[in-house]
Amino acid sequence: MSAGTNQGTAQNPALGVPILLFSTVAFSFSNVLAQIAYDQGLTPPTVLMTRTMAMVVVVLIWAMIGRTHLRYGLTDCAKLWGLGVAFAAINACFLYAILLIPVSLTVLLLYLGPILVGLLSAALGHERLTPLRIMAAGIAFIGLAIALNVGGGDVALAGILLGLATAVGFAINVVGSSRMMLRLPRVGVIFHMMVAVLVVSLIIFVVSGDGALPAHSNAWWALAAVSIGFATAILTFYIGISYLGGPRGALIMNNEPVVTIFVAMLVLGEVLDPVQYVGAAMVIAAVLLVSLERPATTAN
């Protein structure tokens, strides 16, 4: 087990950066496909439950092929299940927030997460916040605001709170899971978290009374596509942060909303304003700054 425990957990930006960039593309397609699923009459509880089930199956197959040991101590399991609950909160809050406030504002609130990751990691003594990272986080946040074309207007307080909860859950999950992957096989970490997410998703599906099964073939295809896209995105995300670390990996994920704009333009025919390209360029510049910096860690 010792060989498998440390496999892929060493800092390796040459692998981590491209894997996370691919993950941003997969997440972007998954977001667009979720909107298409909604258009086909599906609901957030249905999408949440189905794509989580797909994720559990994929990770279980991955563990079986690699013969990864999935039985851990009660303390480790409790930590992983707690991280899974945080991840479930990310998904549920996001899917419900977009019903209350504009998607652009929801995504912007979600991407407070990378900034919170750095602050949380520094507070826990895991990594130091360098001036370059602080500057990159600021540039990325401003760039996101421009790229997503977030404007004024009245928004529902409940939607804002759900978006903020998404960002907090993101920060907790990224910092916690990247630390657990230093001791345990990444596939085991992902599996236990996704099992917890599935339990929460099933509870939401039953209790909400809003679960809607696909009523026609187009809805089934949309649900299958969003599940496959989500599973791919999650797998590559956690593999990427195991190579790169939580704070740097989270900042690279700032590409996701920008890529989502281009995917939406390609798939849904949405048109960008010229100023949004400026915001996209700022985010990309911030990502490059972070990816080129050497890891800054504190001694444990």
- Token representation of residue 240: 């990427």
Query: Which pLDDT belongs to residue 73?
Result: 86
The percent helix, strand, coil of the chain (3-state, each to 5) is 75, 0, 25
Please list, in sequence order, all residues whose beta carbon lies within 8 angstroms of the beta carbon of residue 222, skipping any fewer than 6 positions away: 33, 36, 37, 39, 40, 42, 214
Query: Which pLDDT belongs to residue 203?
Result: 92
Per-residue pLDDT tens digits for 169-211: 877 777 788 788 888 888 888 889 989 999 999 999 888 888 7
With bands split at pLDDT 50, 70 and 90, how would you rate the model's confidence at 89? Answer: confident
Q: Is 73 exposed, middle or buried (CB count within 10 Å of its CB: 0-12, 13-18, 19+)?
A: exposed
Contact 263, 29 (CB under 8 A): yes
Query: Which residue, 239, 248, 240, is CA-closest to 136?
Result: 248
Sign of the four-CA dihedral 109, 115, 120, 126:
positive
User: In angstroms, rounded to a whole number, what is the distance separating the alpha carbons of residues 117 and 172?
Assistant: 7
Looking at the predicted structure, is the pLDDT value of residue 108 above 70? no
Contact 60, 146 (CB under 8 A): no
Per-residue pLDDT tens digits for 132-160: 777 877 887 787 777 766 555 555 677 77
Structure-derived torsion over alpha carbons of residues 182, 183, 187, 193, reported in degrees to the nearest 10: -90
Mean pLDDT value across residues 230-255? 76
pTM equals 0.70
Please list, in sequence order, all residues whose beta carbon lies within 8 angstroms of the beta carbon of residue 200, skipping any fewer than 6 positions away: 84, 85, 88, 89, 92
Query: Which pLDDT belongs to residue 298?
Result: 45
Contact 77, 191 (CB under 8 A): no
Give the helix/strand (H/E) hosting 230: helix 217-244
Mean pLDDT value across residues 17-35? 84
CA angle 70, 75, 81 (to 5 degrees): 65
Query: Which residue, 187, 198, 262, is CA-closest to 52?
Result: 198
3-state secondary structure 106-141: HHHHHCCHHHHHHHHHHHCCCECCCHHHHHHHHHHH
Count the neighbouring beta carbons within 10 Å of the beta carbon of residue 210.
Answer: 12
Sign of the four-CA dihedral 154, 159, 161, 166:
negative
For the chain, the domains span 12-292
Please list, in sequence order, all residues whose beta carbon lies within 8 angstroms of the beta carbon of residue 152, skipping any fewer than 6 positions away: none
Looking at the predicted structure, is the pLDDT value of residue 254 above 50? yes
What 202-206 contacts at long range (C-beta under 8 Å, 24+ apart), as own/partner pairs, is: 202/49, 204/45, 204/48, 204/49, 204/92, 205/45, 205/46, 205/48, 205/49
- Token representation of residue 78: 């409790």
Query: Which pLDDT belongs to residue 154?
Result: 54
